Amino acid sequence: MTDIATLQGELLAAIAAAAAPDALEAQRVHALGKQGVVTGLLKTLGAMSADERQAEGPRIHGLREAVTAAIAERKAALDRAALDARLAAEREDVTLPYGLPAAGSVHPVSQVMDELAEIFADLGFAVATGPEIEDDWHNFTALNIPELHPARAMHDTFYFPDEREGRKMLLRTHTSPVQIRTMLNQPPPIRIIAPGRTYRSDSDATHTPMFHQVEGLVIDRGIHMGHLKWTLETFVRAFFERDDIVLRMRPSYFPFTEPSAEVDVGYTRKDGKRIIGGGEPDGWMEILGSGMVHPKVLAACGLDPEEWSGFAFGCGIDRLAMLKYGMDDLRAFFDGDLRWLRTYGFASLDVPTLSGGISA
């Protein structure tokens, strides 16, 4: 009885002293191997009387369990120490500056076009496109700007020496020819916006020979100026994300609309800056031209002005971007300067959505 207790003490001490996995294995073989001391004791149980076995059995089994447990525990401790040593050896300086992966951007003009598409999709407007190299019929004549009309001269048009089917070719001076192409190609009712590049021979801080416009066109039965006004109010408020934006419509003149109106947006002054919106405007900024589609334009597109009416509007996209995002020089839009793009560009996932917000 003392023998077993002593033996257990010796075995556990030897296991605890095993400093490496192979030493521990040697101790396991010494105790629990085929020739092991504990195995030897277990074998003696078979030769014992029932009474002896009753007394010795639990003690010998207890010895085996204690040794087994001690070996497992020691093994876990050694494994943990080995892993600790490995991890300590694998240590690296993770403060090493790696920098962020290259991040690209979306140009503000594209972003604003996406914003417009989203706002107008909600109002049922599809997006239409047309060629930038146009003929003078689509760009002028069909829009009730006959040759020699003073408005034609006011457009500062870029011309090509080329003619196609007897028509002078030019760079479109506005997105309005898309109105004509749309009306010629699809029956009403029509609701479209047409964003795109436009060109005029003009260059200073607020004019570049290439710029972007968006055209809007609605043709249906019973459309009037009130619908135009509501549409523009809804659009401008959604775009600038303010309910308190006031619009002012002024009678004006465009050959392709009658009546025509220029639209000003009210601004308030804050810290010397003009902020779009505010119920009591401190001043007005012109943002777009609009009007009811001229009966001659409807007729040129094969629509009966007695049956159909509609409105159209056109607005500078670059200017919208400047007003919303604060750029002050239009020329920088077209320079591809990375410093500017990093400042005013949008991340790839800044997708304007109605649910997430137009300003993304």
Partner 1 sequence: MKFSLSWLKDHLDTQADAATVAEALTRVGLEVEGVSNAADALAPFTIARVLTAERHPQADKLQVLSVDAGNGPMQVVCGAPNARAGLVGIFGPPGAYVPGLDVTLKVAAIRGVESNGMMCSARELQLGEGHDGIVELPGDAPVGVAYAQWAGLDDPVFDVSITPNRQDCMGVRGIARDLAAAGLGTLKPLAVPSIAGEGAAAVAIRTDDPEGCPAFYGRTVAGVANGPSPDWLRRRLEAVDQRSISALVDITNYVMIDLGRPLHVYDMAKLSGALVARRARDGESVEALNGKTYALTPAMTVIADDVGVHDIGGIMGGEHSGVVDATTDIVIECAYFDPAAIARTGQALGLTSDARQRFERGVDPAFLDDGLAIATGLVLDLCGGRPSEVIRAGAPPVTPRTVAFDPARTPALGGIDVPADRQRAILESLGFGVGGDWTVTVPSWRRDVDGTADLVEEVVRIAGLDSVPSTPLARAEGVAKPTASDAQLVERRIRRAAAARGLHEAVTWSFISEEEARPFGGGAWTLANPISESLKVMRPSLLPGLVAAAQRNRARGEDAVRLFEIGRRYAADAEHPTLGFVRSVDEVGLGGREPGGWAAAKADALALIAAVSGRDLAQRLRVEAPASPWYHPGRSGVLKLGARPVAEFGELHPELLRAAGLRHAACAGELFLDALTLRRAGKKPAYAPNPLQPVKRDFAFVLPEDKPAAQLDLAIRKADKLVEDVTFFDLFRLPSGERSLALRVTLQPAQASFTDAELKAISDRIVAAAEKAGASLRG
Residues making up the annotated binding site for Mg(2+) are 258
- With CB under 8 A as the contact rule, the residue among 278, 351, 359, 360 that binds partner 1 is 351
- For partner 1, the binding residues in 158-177 under the rule CB under 8 A are 158-162, 169, 171
Distance between CA atoms of residues 46 and 50, nearest Å: 9
- Residue 8 or 182 with smaller CB distance to partner 1: 182
- With CB under 8 A as the contact rule, the residue among 86, 90, 148, 165 that binds partner 1 is 148
- Residue 239 or 346 with smaller CB distance to partner 1: 346
Number of residues that bind partner 1 (CB under 8 A): 91
Distance between CA atoms of residues 316 and 320, nearest Å: 6
- For partner 1, the binding residues in 199-218 under the rule CB under 8 A are 199, 201-203, 209-210, 218
Q: Which residues have C-beta within 8 Å of that of residue 7, sequence separation ≥ 6?
A: 37, 38, 41, 63
The two beta strands, 126-127 and 159-164, are unpaired
- With CB under 8 A as the contact rule, the residue among 51, 92, 95, 150 that binds partner 1 is 150
Distance between CA atoms of residues 115 and 180, nearest Å: 24
What torsion do the CA atoms of 35, 38, 40, 45 make, to the nearest 10 degrees?
Answer: -150
**Residue position matching structure tokens 């001690």:** 70
Question: Is 53 a residue that touches partner 1 (CB under 8 A)?
Answer: no
Least distance (Å) between residue 274 CB and partner 1? 18
Point out which span in 56-64, 67-75, 236-244, 327-335 binds partner 1 (CB under 8 A).
327-335
**Residue position matching structure tokens 């030493």:** 23
Distance between CA atoms of residues 287 and 289, nearest Å: 7
* Contact (CB, 8 A) for 18 and 71: no
Binding mask 303-322 for partner 1 (x = CB under 8 A): --x---x-------------
- Residue 18 or 323 with smaller CB distance to partner 1: 323
Point out which span in 19-27, 43-51, 60-68, 101-109 binds partner 1 (CB under 8 A).
101-109
Least distance (Å) between residue 253 CB and partner 1? 3
* Contact (CB, 8 A) for 225 and 261: yes
* Contact (CB, 8 A) for 195 and 213: yes
First-last CA distance in the chain: 82
The two beta strands, 210-220 and 190-199, are antiparallel
Question: Is 125 a residue that touches partner 1 (CB under 8 A)?
Answer: yes
Token pair listed for 127:
């997006």
- Residue 57 or 305 with smaller CB distance to partner 1: 305
Distance between CA atoms of residues 31 and 68, nearest Å: 9
Number of Cβ atoms within 10 Å of the Cβ of 281:
20
- With CB under 8 A as the contact rule, the residue among 15, 38, 60, 114 that binds partner 1 is 114
Binding mask 264-303 for partner 1 (x = CB under 8 A): ----------------------------x-xx--------
Question: Is 359 a residue that touches partner 1 (CB under 8 A)?
Answer: no
Point out which span in 21-29, 32-40, 50-58, 122-130 binds partner 1 (CB under 8 A).
122-130
- For partner 1, the binding residues in 216-255 under the rule CB under 8 A are 218, 222, 224-231, 233-234, 248-253, 255
